[in-house]
Amino acid sequence: MPEGGSVFGTAIMRRWVGMLWTLGFVVALLVSSGAPAQGQGKGSEELGEGERPVKARPAKRMDVQQKKIPELPEDLNVEDLLKPDAYTYEPAGKRDPFRSLTESRDWEITKKVGLERFDISELKLTGIVVGELGRFAMIEAPDMLTYFVSVDGSIGMNNGKVVRVDDSSIVVEEAYTDDFGNSAIRQVILALEEAD
């Protein structure tokens, strides 16, 4: 049975159950309020002036035709009728049903640490340290910690890499996806804020 048919049948059943429940509630309300049932008159003590008691008429007898139920064939096995149909799924040539229809690329699940946990726009360049080992940028992150990063260091949530450390700025290249789904690389410059 198609999935939509099952839902449609369930909706109809709910509607019928709701209507039957409402009808039962109305009947129970009428019975509990003491209203006379159809065909019954008021008692003689409840009659007003000019009213006379009404006699109930006997119900008409209806002729009921009985139909004979056909017998089941002897070679019919009832247990086989109660068993569900066997179904086997053949995945050959079919797509993975648990894979997203809208997403086509595979994602790597990695635990990001340090500056990889933050977006580049959240980071602030606070200083440049120059020494025998080279240039290092001091970066303050939203967690209020200062991190040191040099060329080829990882930075940002989009797998950014530091490509250059200058005297007053750093240049980061990171991958991004534009509005049309195309992958591209952009350069982001983090500069030292000038002190007044």
pLDDT of residue 147: 93
Regions of the chain where pLDDT drops below 70:
1-9, 32-48, 50, 102-110, 195-196
Q: What pLDDT, in 10s, does the model give residues 71-121?
A: 777 787 777 777 777 778 787 877 777 877 766 555 556 677 888 888 888
Q: Under DSSP, is residue 101 helix (H, G, I), strand (E, B) or coil?
A: coil
pLDDT of residue 112: 78
CATH class of domain segment(s) 114-191: mainly beta
Q: Look up residue 64 and give its two tokens.
A: 């009921």
pLDDT of residue 52: 73
Please state whether the predicted TM-score (pTM) of the whole model is above 0.75.
no
CB 160 within 8 A of CB 173: yes
The widest CA-to-CA distance across the chain, in whole angstroms, is 121
Q: Where are the domains of the chain?
A: 1-34, 114-191
pLDDT of residue 45: 61
pLDDT of residue 110: 66
